[in-house]
Amino acid sequence: MIENKHIIELNHVSKIFDDDTIAVNDFNLYVRKGEFVTFLGPSGCGKSTTLRMIAGFDFPTKGEILLNGKDISSMPPNKRPINMVFQRYALFPHLDVFENVAFGLRLKKIPIQKMDKNGQPILKINNKKVSDIKDDIKSTKKNRHLTEEEKLEKLASLNKLLEAAKTTPEPTYDYRKLTPKEISTRVSRGLKIVDLDSLEDRDVTTLSGGQQQRVAIARAIVNEPEILLLDEPLGALDLKMRKDMQIELKEMHEKLGITFIYVTHDQEEALTMSDTIVVMKDGVIQQIGTPKSIYDEPKNAFVADFIGESNIYNATMIGKMCVRFLDHNFSCLDDFPINEKVDVVVRPEDVIFVKDPSKGMIKGTIITKIFKGVNYQYTVMVGKNELLVKDTHDFPINEEIGIDIEKDSIQIMKKDFTTNIYTDAWIDKNNAVQIDDNPFVCDIAQILPGSKLEDGNLISKDGKHRYNFNDADVVAEIALDKIDIVDDLSSSECQAIGEIVDSVYKGDHYQYIIRTENDEDFVCITPYNYNLNDKVGVHVKPEDIKLRLKKEISEYEI
């Protein structure tokens, strides 16, 4: 038999909660033995739900999860060779470090295979397995999220499993507890790996946050799992501690040689630690790849924006390997059809300053400069567009400068027309979101579930935290079908004005691109017919604008 090198495989896994929230949508992934895989995405994109399904705390509505090639749908969490470390690690305050780590081991029972007098394994039909599969069959029959066809398919494979379980005798086991000596050996080894062996008698309440998190990790690894799941394990630590722990976790991963599946919303953490990153949004995988491939070749504007700082522009292919943005025609390496609208990404560190403005491909004026330790971060105005630049040299502010962008620094992406994404939106003092210098009334409370607005500030659900988002940078998203076209440009409904620059008939509706004077696009769909170059207005209902903060919410606490 060929050894299955994929320790975990998720095939078409979806999770729909009872309130019809689609938390995970058709998730497909395989993880190799020993790999460090990270799920990365904004809060609410389904990372934890996916992890919980792998751990067995939640069950997929559709699809299957394979462990070493075998379906583990009906395997309870404690039978899976998988352990999970949470962000809020509940340690027992009345127990010392050693006892906290030993706690689970004292309850644990390990299987000992039963043998007969002659030393041959005793085989029996596994009745527990038979009844588990019967339960699975029952719940599949009742599952209203499956189509008839999917149901039949799943039932057929379950019936096959049932037949096999009823007719194939399996080894039988006795269970025994670990001896005190075995427990002590395992705990010592675990504490050594997390570098806490000298602190085993300490009261956990006297430890720092980082040390407590290491106790939580030791507690998971003493079970000798094949896979360790870590759900934002460093979220509660301060920045310095988080950086140190990132390095330590990476070392632990190498020492242990087991598979890590890690969850974070912090792109830097994902880039520094992972072999493979899975970028997620709204329950859907956006891209899977190595940190380098995801950074260098983001598949769409969402990934580009989420992974690192980048300059993203609407651009047009105007010739073979020639793209126009920032009012200039640049040579590039990607071949797209002429006249196609595309997104262009330029990383700030790839922009080259040229002292003499007349010698650069384009000109700009530096308007802000921040020293970041290793380099300077500049904001440059190029016409009406901002360009973010990182450079180790010191250039004067408020002066014109030349700018070069080499062809291998220009990443071109097919335009994602499933939704409008505005990556440089911001919140104004009236709590409206500014898109292309136009205020759009929006629902600011969505940023923090359960919160409400009071005197212009957002109050958290428990009333303990207050936030002010004036000037906050956000990413705003509007679905294509949520943009209404307004014909009367003088109407108060009209929130932005633009010209129809592109029109595609899609069978039963039109898709238009409405471009404003500042080159911002609103892509919308409607059954009504407009002509190219028509001037129209745009209106969006507050509840149809989705917002995501670019920085941590804690930055806005007052």
Ligand X SMILES: Nc1ncnc2c1ncn2[C@@H]1O[C@H](COP(=O)(O)OP(=O)(O)O)[C@@H](O)[C@H]1O
Nearer to Mg ion, 22 or 494 (CB): 22
Nearer to ligand X, 450 or 527 (CB): 450
Nearer to ligand X, 44 or 383 (CB): 44
Give the span between the Cα atoms of 523 and 503, in whole angstroms. 10
Contact of residue 34 among ligand X, Mg ion, none (CB under 5-8 Å per partner type): none
Q: How far is the CB of 539 from ligand X (least distance, A)?
A: 27
Contact 84, 220 (CB under 8 A): yes
State the residues that interact with Mg ion by CB under 5 A.
48
Contact 114, 126 (CB under 8 A): no
Closest CA relative to residue 95, chosen from 84, 106, 82: 106
**Residue at shortest CB range from Mg ion:** 48
Give the span between the Cα atoms of 46 and 48, in whole angstroms. 6
Q: How far is the CB of 41 from ligand X (least distance, A)?
A: 6
Contact of residue 21 among Mg ion, ligand X, none (CB under 5-8 Å per partner type): ligand X
Q: How far is the CB of 228 from ligand X (least distance, A)?
A: 17
Enclosing H/E stretch for 538: strand 535-539
Q: How far is the CB of 263 from ligand X (least distance, A)?
A: 7
Could you tell me if residue 450 is left (phi over 0), alpha (psi between -120 and 50 degrees) or otherwise beta? left
User: If you search the block for the tokens 């504490």, which residue do you land on?
Assistant: 191
Q: Is 390 exposed, middle or buried (0-12, 13-18, 19+ CB in 10 A)?
A: middle
Residue-by-residue DSSP string for 405-443: --GGG-EEEE--TTEEEEEEEEE-TTSEEEETTEEEE--
Q: How far is the CB of 453 from ligand X (least distance, A)?
A: 21
Nearer to ligand X, 19 or 508 (CB): 19
Give the span between the Cα atoms of 425 and 478, in whole angstroms. 12
Give the span between the Cα atoms of 245 and 203, in whole angstroms. 21
Q: How far is the CB of 546 from ligand X (least distance, A)?
A: 12
Contact of residue 546 among Mg ion, ligand X, none (CB under 5-8 Å per partner type): none
Nearer to ligand X, 42 or 357 (CB): 42
State the residues that interact with ligand X by CB under 6 A.
17, 19, 21, 23, 41, 43-49
Nearer to Mg ion, 51 or 413 (CB): 51
Nearer to Mg ion, 48 or 314 (CB): 48
Enclosing H/E stretch for 213: helix 209-221
> Which amino acid makes up residue 357?
P
Alpha helices in 16-167 (DSSP H): 47-55, 97-107, 127-142, 148-167
Contact of residue 298 among ligand X, Mg ion, none (CB under 5-8 Å per partner type): none
Contact of residue 46 among Mg ion, ligand X, none (CB under 5-8 Å per partner type): ligand X
Alpha helices in 257-319 (DSSP H): 267-273, 291-296, 301-306
Nearer to ligand X, 23 or 245 (CB): 23
Contact of residue 44 among ligand X, Mg ion, none (CB under 5-8 Å per partner type): ligand X
Contact of residue 57 among Mg ion, ligand X, none (CB under 5-8 Å per partner type): none
Q: How far is the CB of 231 from Mg ion (least distance, A)?
A: 6
Contact of residue 49 among ligand X, Mg ion, none (CB under 5-8 Å per partner type): ligand X
Give the span between the Cα atoms of 106 and 102, in whole angstroms. 6
Q: How far is the CB of 21 from ligand X (least distance, A)?
A: 4
